Amino acid sequence: MSSAFSTLREQITETRKKTMEQLCGITLHGDLQERYVDWRLPLPLSRKRQQRLDIIRNAGVLFIHVPKNAGTAISKELYGCSMRHESIRYYQRHAPDVVRTMPSFALWRDPVERFLSSYDFIRNGGGSHVSLHPGFAEHYADLTTLDRMIEYVDGTTSIYQLDHVLRPQHWYLTDRHGDIAVKMLFDLRALLEIRNLTPNQPH
């Protein structure tokens, strides 16, 4: 009996999750928080999200992880784990003290190089650390050439129709007025400079 109730509870949770995704026009459930930030609506953070904010506070530096910009290694070095691809607006909403008082930085990559890397990621169904979300894999199945991929990206009406790897870099780094809100921005080729930000971390 308990097994049946457990299964029913899981089905209800999954149905509620899918309904919220459809209502908010998102594919990735993690985008729900970003959507609510866009709308300036309150949405309590889960325990895991609160824990990630505590990790950032303990590290003393905020790293905005733009996808396909070699951020996984930096995130693990700073925080001991890989962080989600949250925008600076997310942190302004949920951790304004972090944005206000701590150094913040991100990596910037040549857009053409990044797009080509993203294209390879999608065509391969993901990378060594993460797989392409099934919802996006279905949408992208017919995008077998660079031209088709460019046309698809150009034709989207919502940023949330794009997997993280296809979203423009500025989406992660700007406030709601479109201004760069991280305090330091490094070219991907200047990784050595970033080590000066973490003198207490092993390199």
Q: CA 111, 114, 119 angle in degrees (round to 5)?
A: 125
- Pull the structure tokens for residue 30: 């993690």
Full-model pTM: 0.85
Buried b (16+ CB within 10 A) or exposed e, 40-75: eeeeeeeeebeebbeebeebebbbbbbbbbebbebb
Residue 203 has what pLDDT?
Answer: 47
Burial tier of 143 (Cβ tally within 10 Å: 0-12, 13-18, 19+) = middle
What percent helix, strand, coil does the chain show, rounded to 5?
60, 10, 35
pLDDT of residue 192: 56
Residue 172 pLDDT: 98
Q: What is the reported pLDDT for 194?
A: 60
Q: What is the mean pLDDT of residues 132-153?
A: 91
Q: What band does 20 get if pLDDT is binned at 50, 70 and 90?
A: confident
Q: Check pLDDT > 90 for residue 127.
A: no
